[in-house]
Structure 1
Amino acid sequence: MTSTIPATIPNSDATTDSLHLRDILRSLPREVFTKNRRKAWLTALINVLMVGLGYWGLAIAPWFLLPPLWIFIGTGLTGFFVIGHDCGHRSFANRRWVNDLVGHLFMLPLIYPFHSWRILHNYHHAHTNKLNEDNAWEPFQPEFYNSLGSLGQWGYRLLRGRFWWVASIVHWGVMHFNWWQFKGKDRQKVKLSAIVVLGFASVAFPLLIATIGIWGFVKFWLLPWLVYHFWMSTFTLVHHTAPEIPFTPADEWNQAQAQLFGTVHCDYPRWVEFLCHDINVHIPHHISTAIPSYNLRLAHRSIQQNWGDSIRECRFSWSLMKQITAECHLYNPEDSYYQSFKDYHIGR
């Protein structure tokens, strides 16, 4: 396993012209697409028990054990999101209403509207790394960045730099409660999801504060929620961001190239992988969203056998995050890759 992102990208004209997503799908074992009801519900049960265990510890632990418990619970809550994520892709259960119900329930403590996330996230999968279309960590183009004004530029520099870990909160607040941006039946579904989580928050938060005070609210909800958003920001940034991964204009975009070579597999500490259900085994998930999370490792081994010399694999580290947040800032129109803020200002 490599410790850094490979320095080369398979981007020859022959590869671009001949590679199709259906060919990659045919190379995968058929069993990776099979839903297993026992595995799905056991995963959900274990996740609930782990988070419950963390909250029990939080209730009885001395003050110096609170930080590791916040990290443990927040990571477990990220696992809640991953279960909702499978539901959003209809890979948790066969029945749609079961996916919708479970997705709402597991995203409820995170105050995350299920349907708005589902629709926007599926759009990301349909347009991965396509310039002006992808809605996940797409780098700003220089012209747009210049139009923001000093305050907007400052905020963008923070989110693309050392404060990347709060970007998920901004994305959550700005994009997922505005049901007016959706149309038809989607608008009604998004409105329902938003009302459900807002209604839950309007009851649960005052009740929490009334029973255990402001500090109790911070201790039992806010700080684990911030840890959850740290992982959400980190996971999603690493999934598709590297100096060698391009954002391609629509007329040059190749679906198979984007999903196979524009997605990063990242190894995290095993306890993180366990609590978050291997969501960072991410390449097969972009080859097909129908693969349940518990089958991702099997699918990835197959991809390694067929494409091991070309796919991107890395290991989570602070040096990795430093590289990404120091280099991957603005879209570079000359080559479709990234340029840093420093290089952009030097080149102007």
Structure 2
Amino acid sequence: MTVSTVKPENLEFDAPASALRLKDILKTLPKECFQKNSRKAWSAALFSVAVVALGYWGLAVAPWFLLPVLWIFTGTALTGFFVIGHDCGHRSFAKRRWVNDLVGHLFMMPLIYPFHSWRILHNFHHTHTNKLDIDNAWQPFQTEYYDSLPRSLQNGYEGLRGRFWWVGSIVHWAGIHFTLAEFQPKDHSKVKLSVAVVLIFAAIAFPTLILTTGIWGFVKFWLMPWLVYHFWMSTFTLVHHTAPDIAFYPEEQWNAADSQLSGTVHCNYPGWVESLCHDINVHVPHHISTAIPSYNLRMAYQSLQQNWGNRLYKECNFSWALMKEITDQCHLYHPEACYRSFTDYRQGQ
């Protein structure tokens, strides 16, 4: 794919990193990156519906020993449902707001994810990415706060920062998306609507599924794919902004452009995962501008590589070694070393 670019030398930008502004980056991106294409948007939505339907058909007819493979496939395809809703939440799916809201609710409804609740809290993450004590996505605890917690909560935090990272999305989903106290009064009506939508869906779908297929049918057709979906949600979100040398900054030291450009990780996943999840792993341009639809993320990333490659965080490949590095080291905030592991912290006490 060929994209028009503005060479960095033409920007005459030799200022220190703290002076970098998002608009300096945005003006180097091709205008095509921001253009909505209804054919591509609806094709992606229909593709997700088709592959999810294929997954459920497979679960219905396959022998028991193929179920784990089909759970992985179907749960990954359901993550594509979330990405469609993700575009809707950023108003990059359709030009009309009501279409974005309707499609967003429909695609996030089977995931029991309240659309407006997620949209509002997720936009907050984009506004405060990697801002210490404020960002609401995977920011590390400071040692003082960690020490103030009862041992049970310390154990829980250690698990979510360790080998049980894949549960983190479920905790995040259940902990804040159904509670009005997390939202400003002006947003309460929208949050109530989205919560009502998923609760009504669950109240109809779950008993129907259990009555027609039994408890095992509920586990087989909904719970297991849903857990795989949350595995990817936890993994994508953690990897997007976590590495031993990616810092969270106090508000007085924080710079939006630096955090969005250099504090966001591009991770390569197997091609079938990237296809089913609509390139959500191409995450750096999404943090430069949420107006870029998912089908234009690769075009935008190519431009960022050409124009801002010296500021991009190094790419990585999804692997057990990557997850082990993150879950072994990225535990507690450290003002100089970015992170401190639980082991190092206890040894230093």
Contact 1:84–1:106 under 8 Å retained in 2: yes
The answer to whether the aligner puts 1:173 opposite 2:183 as a matched pair is: no
* Structure 2 residues not aligned, in runs of 5+: 1-13
CA distance in 2, matches of 1:207, 1:185: 35
Contact 1:248–1:336 under 8 Å retained in 2: no
Contact 1:86–1:293 under 8 Å retained in 2: yes
Correspondence for 1:38: 39
Correspondence for 1:64: 65
CA distance in 2, matches of 1:336, 1:85: 33
Q: Which moved more, 1:181-190 or 1:104-113?
A: 181-190
Correspondence for 2:344: 343
Contact 2:245–2:337 under 8 Å retained in 1: no
CA distance in 2, matches of 1:172, 1:272: 22
Aligned-pair distance for 1:184?
2.7
SS at match of 2:141: coil
SS at match of 2:135: coil
CA distance in 2, matches of 1:23, 1:116: 31
Correspondent of 1:319 among 312, 318, 321: 321
SS at match of 1:27: coil
Aligned-pair distance for 1:14?
4.4
Aligned-pair distance for 1:239?
0.2
Residues 336 and 288 (structure 1), Cα distance of their counterparts in 2 relative to 1, 3 Å cut: farther
Aligned-pair distance for 1:200?
0.8
The answer to whether the aligner puts 1:187 opposite 2:188 as a matched pair is: yes
Residues 340 and 14 (structure 1), Cα distance of their counterparts in 2 relative to 1, 3 Å cut: farther
Could you list the runs of 4 or more consecutive aligned residues of structure 1 that deviate by over 3 angstroms after TM superposition? none
The answer to whether the aligner puts 1:299 opposite 2:293 as a matched pair is: no
Correspondence for 1:222: 223
Q: Structure 2: which amino acid aligns with 1:299?
A: A
The answer to whether the aligner puts 1:248 opposite 2:253 as a matched pair is: no
SS at match of 1:331: strand
**Residue deviations 1:101-136 (CA, integer Å, cap 9, x gap):** 000000000000000100000000000000111000
CA distance in 2, matches of 1:86, 1:228: 17
Q: Structure 2: which amino acid aligns with 1:135?
A: N
CA distance in 1, matches of 2:297, 2:144: 39
CA distance in 2, matches of 1:343, 1:182: 37
Q: Structure 2: which amino acid aligns with 1:233?
A: S
SS at match of 2:213: helix
- RMSD, matched Cα: 1.0
The answer to whether the aligner puts 1:205 opposite 2:206 as a matched pair is: yes
Correspondence for 2:83: 82
CA distance in 2, matches of 1:141, 1:158: 16
Q: Structure 1: which amino acid aligns with 2:346?
A: H
**Residue deviations 1:76-104 (CA, integer Å, cap 9, x gap):** 00000000000000000000000000000
Correspondence for 1:55: 56
Contact 1:93–1:99 under 8 Å retained in 2: yes
The answer to whether the aligner puts 1:160 opposite 2:161 as a matched pair is: yes
CA distance in 1, matches of 2:344, 2:139: 18
Residues 71 and 249 (structure 1), Cα distance of their counterparts in 2 relative to 1, 3 Å cut: same
Correspondence for 1:128: 129
Q: Structure 1: which amino acid aligns with 2:328?
A: A
Q: After the TM superposition, which residues 12-27 of structure 1 pair with which residues of structure 2 at under 5 Å, given as runs?
A: 14-27=15-28
SS at match of 2:266: strand
SS at match of 2:267: strand
Contact 1:278–1:294 under 8 Å retained in 2: yes
Correspondence for 1:264: 265
* Structure 1 residues not aligned, in runs of 5+: 1-12
Q: Structure 2: which amino acid aligns with 1:269?
A: P
CA distance in 2, matches of 1:262, 1:44: 30
**Residue deviations 1:133-166 (CA, integer Å, cap 9, x gap):** 1000010010110111110100000000000000
CA distance in 2, matches of 1:277, 1:95: 21
Q: Structure 2: which amino acid aligns with 1:150?
A: R
Aligned-pair distance for 1:336?
6.4
CA distance in 2, matches of 1:82, 1:181: 23
TM-score normalised by the chain length of structure 1: 0.95
Q: Structure 2: which amino acid aligns with 1:39?
A: K
Correspondence for 2:7: none
SS at match of 1:264: coil
**Residue deviations 1:248-278 (CA, integer Å, cap 9, x gap):** 0001100100000000000000000000000
Q: Structure 1: which amino acid aligns with 2:334?
A: N
CA distance in 2, matches of 1:17, 1:170: 34
SS at match of 1:116: helix
SS at match of 1:28: coil
